[in-house]
Amino acid sequence: MRVAAIMRSEESGRMLRQACSGINGTAVDIHILGLDQVARNRALIEHHDVLLLDVDAADPAQAAALGDIMQRQFPGKAVLVAAASITLDSVGQMMRLGVVDVLPQPLRQADLVIALDHAQRRKPTVAAAPGAAGKVITFIKGGCGIGATTLAVQGGCVLAAESKHDRRVCLMDLDLQFGTAGLYLDLAAGAGMSHLLETPERLDRALLRGAMARHASGLDVLLAPSEMVRLDAVSGDFVTACLDLARAEYSRVLVDLPFAWMDWTCAVLRQSDLIVLVTELTVAGVRQTLRQLETLRANGIDSAAIRLVLNRNETGWLVNKSSHIRDAEKALGRKFDFFISNDYALVSQALNRGQPLASIEKGSRVEKDLRAMYAGLEQALAPAPQAALAAVKASVS
Ligand SMILES: Nc1ncnc2c1ncn2[C@@H]1O[C@H](COP(=O)(O)OP(=O)(O)OP(=O)(O)O)[C@@H](O)[C@H]1O
Ligand SMILES: [Mg+2]
């Protein structure tokens, strides 16, 4: 377990170092900082399992800073407080904020060991909600305005309409600043992500369900915030908790990500069963897609999970793009997995009306391509024959 400790003074840092010396299996990184400096030093904390904060409970400014850290900066993170000037009231307030444990100062090793144990045990209760079986398909793009959201929302409608009651589908619009899933589905601005961010300490399946907007196709959508938020308004821990809950609630979880890379977007990609990388046949599209592939590789993301989609593909007798496609595949070092036809009139009409493609025109080429793509994704998600056989055998014996 990795603990990031933010201590107010060299002296309290020394006290903690003493208290944690010799605790096995725990690495504590101690930083001497004020609570108001935490936001500027996210990188020191982001990848740690537990955050330990040195708080003077008698100082109202510190109590407010603690609330901000827990609710805005690191929602979902397991937080311990080493408190000076502790009172029953202040402990109650901190526990209501969602602090796992409040330790009086001077710190004692025995208290610290118990608190760390609590923190470690609390994390998985959010992470591993019962029945977490859903699969996550995340959409990213090789350039802006390439059609990633279109393929996610239109595909989501197809999947949801085909799903029986046991296969529920949701779309999480995590393109926090410029998400358009709600607009493309004509959904009134509602609770969405803003609601989860307001009360991260209450994050559970019921809160997630309540934050979803329902489209007529049966697709549940977690709308992006309607107000402008910082791209780092969410943390890796927070999105992980959201994904775990969504997996427990839905059998297919589609995720739309912003174009920019953040630590938390990387966390989403790492936890995705499939990554759909959407591109188009332009020099910029291929260049940016190559950059995405390289960044995915640099972050240790398995290329077997990636599916490359060429959107707005021109087809027909008069158009022969096959040599351009071959050139693009050569530049990218891999073949396209799926092709989606170009049909601006139909696609933009569907998005403007917030309807599935089939409601505008039945049996269109672009809809067939989209269905073929989702069939391919489903095939990739299906358990391998050997694994399926083993699962059947196990359930029989
Ligand atoms: N197959 C298609 N044929 C024609 N037009 C399409 C197709 N797919 C998407 N478009 C059009 O491309 C535009 C951009 O689509 P979309 O918003 O889905 O892209 P994006 O990659 O999500 O963009 P952003 O970078 O803003 O998130 C839309 O106007 C949409 O109508
Ligand atoms: Mg988009």
pLDDT in tens, 305-336: 999 999 999 876 555 568 889 999 999 999 99
CB atoms within 10 A of CB 263: 15
In the block, tokens 């791209």 appear at 231
Separation of CA 364 and ligand 2 centre (Å): 22
CB atoms within 10 A of CB 75: 24
The average pLDDT across 287-307 equals 95
Q: Which two tokens stand for residue 373?
A: 């793509």
Which of 344, 355, 370, 371 has most ligand 1 atoms within 8 Å of its beta carbon, as the pocket-test mutant?
344
In the block, tokens 């019921």 appear at 206
Kindly report the protein residue whose alpha carbon is nearest to atom 24 of ligand 1.
145
pLDDT in tens, 207-247: 999 999 999 999 999 999 989 999 998 999 899 999 999 99
Kindly report the protein residue whose alpha carbon is nearest to atom 31 of ligand 1.
348
Q: Is 188 helix (H, G, I), strand (E, B) or coil?
A: coil
Atom of ligand 1 nearest to the CA of 311: 1
So what's the pLDDT on residue 387? 52
In the block, tokens 């050139």 appear at 327
d(CA 185, CA 164): 21
Nearest in space to 155 (alpha carbons), one of 168, 169, 166: 169
**Sheet of strand 220-222: strand arrangement:** 213-214, 220-222, 169-173, 252-256, 135-141, 274-279, 306-313, 338-341
Ligand 1 interacting residues, C-beta cut-off 6 A: 141, 144-150, 175, 178, 180, 259, 311-312, 340, 342-344, 347-348, 351, 366
Residue 384 pLDDT exceeds 70: no
d(CA 249, CA 269): 19
d(CA 19, CA 3): 13
pLDDT in tens, 242-270: 999 999 999 999 999 999 999 999 999 99
Kindly report the protein residue whose alpha carbon is nearest to atom 10 of ligand 1.
147
Which of 347, 352, 360, 371 has most ligand 1 atoms within 8 Å of its beta carbon, as the pocket-test mutant?
347
Q: Cis peptide leading into 200, omega within 30 of 0?
A: no
Strand ranges (DSSP E) for the chain? 2-7, 27-32, 50-56, 78-84, 101-104, 135-141, 169-173, 213-214, 220-222, 252-256, 274-279, 306-313, 338-341
Which of 139, 146, 150, 368 has most ligand 1 atoms within 8 Å of its beta carbon, as the pocket-test mutant?
150
Nearest in space to 330 (alpha carbons), one of 298, 297, 286: 286
Q: What is the pTM of this model?
A: 0.70
Residue 397 pLDDT exceeds 50: no
Kindly report the protein residue whose alpha carbon is nearest to atom 4 of ligand 1.
344
Separation of CA 135 and ligand 1 centre (Å): 24
The average pLDDT across 72-99 equals 84
Separation of CA 251 and ligand 2 centre (Å): 23
Q: List, in sequence order, every residue forming a beta bridge with 30; answer none if it has no partner.
A: 5
Closest ligand by atom to 146 CA: 1
Separation of CA 139 and ligand 2 centre (Å): 9
So what's the pLDDT on residue 349? 98
Quote the radius of gyration of the chain (alpha carbons, Å).
Answer: 24
Nearest in space to 4 (alpha carbons), one of 46, 34, 40, 35: 46
Which of 146, 278, 282, 313 has most ligand 1 atoms within 8 Å of its beta carbon, as the pocket-test mutant?
146
pLDDT in tens, 95-136: 877 888 999 998 999 999 999 888 877 654 333 344 458 999
